[in-house]
């Protein structure tokens, strides 16, 4: 991807978050009503389907990418393998792609700087960085440490000349950290420290009820990303509560694997093929992929 194309996509992604507008494409994006609805892809094919459906931007899912390689989430997949998937996804579509890079693949800010720089080299125009550690005894990184990670991400973007969207994620609600009564205060304090460190958007998985979303929006210093999925309110309700971005994480990938499991069970138990009846016809798939290739070359 050439520099101008990538910079334009970064500006468009920023505009979709109402962060800033510096070009005509971003101007048009900023005119859209409602939150950014961000489907999460795990490979080039899923990204092409989402882009064909008309989404303005696409996120990646680290859990989905890991599962597609047969391993668990949580930086079990090597950084090179994760970023290889990001590069294939970003190269498959003509819309902005923001990459879930977990905790940044490094204990030191300098290591995370390198990861973010490599994600930009792979074509990403946004990154998601989480403060979860994977350690049940100490589930969240110290606030100052994660703030340093986010500053490193911002520095990598500035050095590359690509104004990426940095999504600062806190797992306070996701992991149920602390007493329920002070969880919101704890999450707000962390998130606002992340915004001060350079996060453009703040992600709090585990929160979707409109009252809590409203309470967060009232107190946060940057736009709020909410995780949607079964059991969560629809996008319209989340938008009314003030959410600026609604993503779906690994949900589409897991739903796809559930269909594969149904196909397997039917084929094994009944020797029939009904579960495959809703598949994309081969000729339609060919047309879809040809259109995606033409869009990339335009």
What does the pLDDT look like over 222-247, one tens digit per residue?
999 999 999 999 999 999 999 999 99
Q: Does position 248 have pLDDT exceeding 50, yes or no?
A: yes
Q: Answer for the pair 64, 253: CB distance below 8 angstroms, yes or no.
A: yes
Q: What pLDDT, in 10s, does the model give residues 60-92?
A: 999 999 999 999 999 999 999 999 999 999 999
- How far is residue 168 from each of residues 125, 131, 154, measured CA to CA in Å? 15, 8, 11
Q: Report pLDDT for 280.
A: 97
Give domain status of residue 266, yes or no.
Answer: no
C-alpha to C-alpha distance for 128 and 150, rounded to whole angstroms: 10
Per-residue pLDDT averaged across 170-187, rounded? Answer: 95
What six digits make up the tokens of 108?
Answer: 């030191």
The C-alpha angle with vertex 237 and arms to 231 and 239, in degrees rounded to 5, equals 120
Q: Can you give the CATH number for the domain in which 11 is found?
A: 3.20.20.60
What six digits make up the tokens of 39?
Answer: 């489907």
Domain count along the chain: 1
Mean pLDDT estimate for the chain? 95
H or E stretch at 129? strand 126-130
Confidence of residue 26 (pLDDT cuts 50, 70, 90): very low
Domain limits for position 35: 3-250
Residue spans of alpha helices (H) in 93-172: 109-121, 143-160
171 or 296: whose pLDDT is higher?
A: 171
CA 46 to chain centre: 14
User: Is residue 256 classed exposed, middle or buried when 0-12, 13-18 and 19+ CB atoms within 10 A define those classes?
Assistant: middle
Q: Report pLDDT for 288.
A: 98
Per-residue pLDDT averaged across 256-277, rounded? Answer: 98
Q: What pLDDT, in 10s, does the model give residues 105-148?
A: 998 999 999 999 999 999 999 999 999 999 999 999 999 999 99
């Amino acid at each position: 991807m050439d520099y101008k194309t990538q910079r334009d996509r970064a500006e468009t992604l920023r505009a979709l978050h109402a962060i800033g507008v510096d070009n005509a494409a971003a101007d048009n994006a900023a005119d859209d009503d409602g939150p950014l609805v961000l489907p999460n892809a795990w490979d080039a094919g899923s990204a092409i389907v989402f882009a064909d459906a008309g989404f303005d931007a696409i996120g990646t899912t680290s859990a989905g990418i890991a599962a597609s390689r047969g391993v668990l989430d949580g930086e079990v997949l090597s950084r090179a393998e994760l970023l290889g998937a990001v590069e294939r996804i970003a190269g498959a579509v003509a819309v902005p792609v923001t990459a879930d890079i977990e905790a940044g693949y490094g204990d030191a800010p300098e290591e995370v700087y390198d990861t973010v720089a490599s994600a930009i080299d792979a074509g990403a125009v946004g990154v998601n960085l989480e403060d979860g550690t994977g350690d049940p005894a100490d589930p969240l990184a110290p606030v100052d440490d994660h703030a340093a990670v986010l500053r490193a991400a911002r520095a990598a973007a500035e050095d590359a000349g690509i104004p990426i969207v940095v999504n600062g994620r806190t797992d306070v609600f996701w992991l149920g950290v602390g007493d329920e009564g002070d969880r919101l205060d704890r999450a707000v304090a962390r998130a606002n420290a992340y915004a001060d460190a350079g996060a453009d958007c703040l992600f709090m998985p585990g929160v979707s009820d409109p009252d809590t979303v409203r309470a967060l929006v009232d107190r946060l210093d940057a736009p709020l990303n909410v995780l949607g999925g079964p059991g969560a309110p629809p996008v319209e309700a989340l938008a009314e509560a003030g959410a600026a971005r609604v993503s779906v994480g690994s949900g589409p990938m897991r739903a796809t694997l559930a269909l594969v499991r149904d196909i397997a069970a039917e084929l094994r138990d009944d020797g029939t093929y009904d579960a495959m009846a809703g598949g994309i016809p081969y000729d339609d798939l060919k047309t879809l992929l040809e259109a995606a290739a033409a869009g990339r070359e335009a």
